[in-house]
């Protein structure tokens, strides 16, 4: 491609670099100048025009952007017509964005002429939402760059949306003496809102004493009810794999896949599994509607792409959602989501049985 200031006599077929307003007419940027356009420019007193002339192996910006987008479009995504060297990729379903960041980086590193921008990996997206944009910076790119992008893509699109599934979820809450009923009602509402916002349903809510045998029983109830996701919100936050909630998961035949996460708030989240059913033991902030580590895990579970142990351990960069509490800050609620008496009575239980809340 040759970008230059061309004399009008040699400017036919040149792509106009900048929009020109000529009396009652406008010649827009990117217009391929015709003989009539050049006559108009001459009448307006122009002797030269700035623009680009493509080489035989060049691909014009719109065609190049469209071809590049076609290499990236995967399941539950779609492209829209290109404009001004840009082609956007849109979600065609509600879901979680999956991106092969390494391949996107390789394409962007090929040349400054190619610019691919995406939403963050695992962002929750809705139908019609732009999830990625492809921009050709100059007026054209050589065919070899698009061929290199095609080789990197390798026939497997690096961008897709994992569709959210209509999951049936259960919430199990445990209690200690002195805890107010309002805490449990508020937690159930926040959890229901979270699940429904992702297209699922909170089909079962159980409440019982903060004791391992009671929690064992409630886990069995949730599985027997056909729940596909179980969330446990303890009266106190689990502090060890042998604490009440994690021990209950393993006691009923499940496994603890990862304890904790490098995300604040949300450090104390525990991810487990009983057979094919994911179990999330909530951190104290799980009772809050504010963004926390649960919001990084729950969408992936409901989209059928559960985070691995390594995935969670890699969440640290960008994992500071809100400022971490200062050491020794006793003015804030503790990690258990309760104050004073409930925390002090963590292992003093004198209740038995469970109750079911619909």
Please tell me whether residues 334 and 188 are part of one structural domain: yes
Please tell me whether residues 48 and 63 are part of one structural domain: no
Please tell me whether residues 147 and 174 are part of one structural domain: no
- Domain containing 352 equals 168-321+328-357
CATH number at residue 72: 3.90.1170.30
Please tell me whether residues 73 and 186 are part of one structural domain: no
What does each C-alpha distance from 302 to 199, 293, 296 come to in angstroms? 9, 15, 11
Q: Is the pLDDT of residue 349 over 60?
A: no
Q: What pTM does this model have?
A: 0.85
Answer whether 25's CB lies under 8 Å from 40's CB. Answer: yes
Please tell me whether residues 284 and 221 are part of one structural domain: yes
Task: State residue 327's pLDDT score.
Answer: 63
Please tell me whether residues 311 and 173 are part of one structural domain: yes
Q: Is the pLDDT of residue 12 over 80?
A: yes
* pLDDT confidence band for 328 (50 / 70 / 90): low
Answer whether 336's CB lies under 8 Å from 235's CB. Answer: yes
Please tell me whether residues 187 and 298 are part of one structural domain: yes
Domain total of the chain: 3
What is the overall mean pLDDT for the chain?
91
Write down which residue in 162, 193, 225 finishes a domain.
162
Mean pLDDT of 73-80: 97
How confident is the model over 235-280, as pLDDT tens digits? 999 999 999 999 999 999 999 999 999 999 999 999 999 999 999 9
Answer whether 79's CB lies under 8 Å from 69's CB. Answer: yes
Distance (Å, whole) CA 95 – CA 98: 9
Q: Is the pLDDT of residue 357 over 90?
A: no
Please tell me whether residues 63 and 8 are part of one structural domain: no
Tell me which of 338 and 80 has the higher pLDDT: 80
Please tell me whether residues 145 and 173 are part of one structural domain: no
Write down which residue in 114, 142, 162 finishes a domain.
162
Distance (Å, whole) CA 122 – CA 263: 15
CATH number at residue 245: 3.40.980.10
Please tell me whether residues 286 and 313 are part of one structural domain: yes
Please tell me whether residues 156 and 222 are part of one structural domain: no
Number of residues that this document lists for the chain: 358
Tell me phi and psi for residue 6, to 5 degrees.
-105, 140
Please tell me whether residues 81 and 38 are part of one structural domain: no
Task: State residue 324's pLDDT score.
Answer: 75
Beta partners for residue 78, in sequence order: 90
Answer whether 113's CB lies under 8 Å from 97's CB. Answer: no
Mean pLDDT of 218-230: 98
How confident is the model over 101-147, as pLDDT tens digits? 999 999 999 999 999 999 999 999 999 999 999 999 999 999 999 99
Write down which residue in 162, 185, 206 finishes a domain.
162
Distance (Å, whole) CA 245 – CA 247: 5
Q: Is the pLDDT of residue 341 over 50?
A: no
% of the chain at pLDDT higher than 90: 88
Beta partners for residue 142, in sequence order: 58
CATH number at residue 42: 3.90.105.10
């Amino acid at each position: 491609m040759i970008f230059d200031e061309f004399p009008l006599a040699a400017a036919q077929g040149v792509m106009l670099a900048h929009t020109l307003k000529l009396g009652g007419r406008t010649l827009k940027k990117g217009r391929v100048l015709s003989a009539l356009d050049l006559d108009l420019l001459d009448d307006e007193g122009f002797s030269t025009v700035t623009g680009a002339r493509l080489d035989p192996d060049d691909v014009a910006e719109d065609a190049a952007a469209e071809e590049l987008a076609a290499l990236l479009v995967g399941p539950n995504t779609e492209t829209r017509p290109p404009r001004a060297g840009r082609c956007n990729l849109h979600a065609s379903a509600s879901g979680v964005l999956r991106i092969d960041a390494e391949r996107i980086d390789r394409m962007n590193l090929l040349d400054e002429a190619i610019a691919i921008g995406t939403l963050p990996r695992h962002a929750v997206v809705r139908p019609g939402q732009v999830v990625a944009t492809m921009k050709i910076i100059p007026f054209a790119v050589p065919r070899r760059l698009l061929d290199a992008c095609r080789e990197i893509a390798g026939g497997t699109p690096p961008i897709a949306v994992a569709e959210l599934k209509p999951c049936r979820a259960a919430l199990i809450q445990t209690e200690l003496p002195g805890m107010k009923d309002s805490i449990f009602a508020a937690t159930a509402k926040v959890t229901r809102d979270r699940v429904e916002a992702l297209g699922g349903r909170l089909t079962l809510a159980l409440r019982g004493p903060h004791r391992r045998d009671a929690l064992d029983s409630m886990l069995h109830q949730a599985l027997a009810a056909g729940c596909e996701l179980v969330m446990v919100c303890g009266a106190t936050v689990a502090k060890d794999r042998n604490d009440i909630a994690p021990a209950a998961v393993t006691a009923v035949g499940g496994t603890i896949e990862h304890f904790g996460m490098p995300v604040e708030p949300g450090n104390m989240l525990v991810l487990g599994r009983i057979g094919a059913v994911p179990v999330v033991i909530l951190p104290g902030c799980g009772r809050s509607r504010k963004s926390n580590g649960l919001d990084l895990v729950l969408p992936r579970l409901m989209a059928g792409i559960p985070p691995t142990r390594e995935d969670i351990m890699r969440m640290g960069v960008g994992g500071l959602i809100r400022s971490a509490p200062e050491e020794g800050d006793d003015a804030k609620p503790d990690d258990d989501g309760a104050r004073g008496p409930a925390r002090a009575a963590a292992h003093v239980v004198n209740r038995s049985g469970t109750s079911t809340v619909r």
